Amino acid sequence: MSETASHLGDVTVLDFATVGPAARCSRVLADYGATVVKVGAPRGLQVQPPFHSYAGQRGMKRVEIDLKSEAGKRAFLRLAEGADVVIESFRPGVVKRLGIGYDALSQANPRLVYCSTSGYGQAGPYSQWAGHDINYLALGGFLDCSGRRADGGPPLPGATMADIAAGGMQAAIAILAALHRRHATGRGEYLDVAVADGVLWCMSLWFDQFLATGDRPGPGHDVLTGRYAWYDVYPTRDGRWLAVGAIEPQFYANLCKALGLEKWIPHQYEDAHQEAIRRDLRRVFETRDRDAWADELAPANTCVAPVLSVAEAAEDPHFESRRVFTEAQHPDRGRLRQVGPVLAGGDRQKTGYALPDLAKSDAEELLLDAGYSRDEIQKLRSEAAIA
């Protein structure tokens, strides 16, 4: 058994999600060794993400079930009886109407941890709002605290941070905590994961500041939002960029000395001098190319790093040395690279993953394990209750 499988190798997860926070969550659980079964609607009724998304469902199984048919619903309930976790991301109220909500499933499996992920939570005035990552970041204050475009509006984030951290990681942490508590109580529980709530947690430094002091966070209000010249990004001669994060006085002093700007060392936190410091930093950085500056400054305790593109980061020697990328074999696309189980404790040594054929189903294997006979499975297929 691999190191990864030893973490959650005895955990079975049924996951209804194809995209978004719930899919991020099940990716985390699978990378720590859980058996994740993707439960989808009959073919043609559910949009599938690109073949490479979410690591191509590496290490996962799949089954298609028509939950609107009684036979299909019974098949899912049978699978849920042997599962540890169910993850769903339907609009609040849908699973209850389908008869597959926590109340129904926990009667047959009291140890079940049931995780509902939604944008705004299962209750509250906004619970029925439709939304995506940008909407949750907007409601939770993240966008307003970001920088500004030329037209005065907040910029679009470079990644779906609400889905990833506020939703997916929140769900994974909550599930792991519930599984741990189950060891003591013998019972599972229901988890209401609201992505917008998770954004508030991500923004808690600024919310706590406002609630405690009345200060109103926003672009340029503090160290991390652009108030000071030494926490910013700067263009270089070749049109690329450097990120500077010299917060601590010793790192700031090292940076000023390396750039011949010693005169600014005593004025690090003086607001009146920030624009002048920013102009000088920009002027000096524009005299050399990005990588020349990075090679000199990054190892010199200055908190400087190059702003890499995705293509550059994919070939970066540091990431290569840490084995964060792995190789996989796709049934149609052939060999490809992808981000491996990169979170701490993941198995970075394994490579050569065989990705599942998303046109095929593991229904027979899964339902046999759940106690169905081959004849019963064939009948379900003939009724289009499963695929």
Active site members: 132, 163
CA contacts within 13 A on the Cβ side of 27: 27
Place of tokens 């988890």: 191
Angle at 385 between CA 76 and CA 88, to 5 degrees: 40
Sheet holding 231-235, edge to edge: 231-235, 241-245, 304-306
Report the distance separating Cα 68 and Cα 302, nearest Å: 60
Which bin fits 83, alpha (ψ -120 to 50), beta or left (φ > 0)? beta
Report the distance separating Cα 14 and Cα 60, nearest Å: 10
Cβ atoms of residues 143 and 134 within 8 Å: yes
Place of tokens 């990716």: 27
Q: Which amino acid is at 63?
A: V
Q: Which tokens belong to 362?
A: 């593991």
Main-chain phi, psi angles of 233, to 5 degrees: -115, 145
Q: Which tokens belong to 157?
A: 């984030």
Place of tokens 């020697």: 317
CA contacts within 13 A on the Cβ side of 242: 34
DSSP code for 281: H
Place of tokens 């989808």: 40
Report the distance separating Cα 358 and Cα 50, nearest Å: 11
Report the distance separating Cα 118 and Cα 17, nearest Å: 11
List the one residue out of 95, 97, 98 whose CA is nearest residue 86.
95
| Chain Cα centroid distance, residue 349 | 22
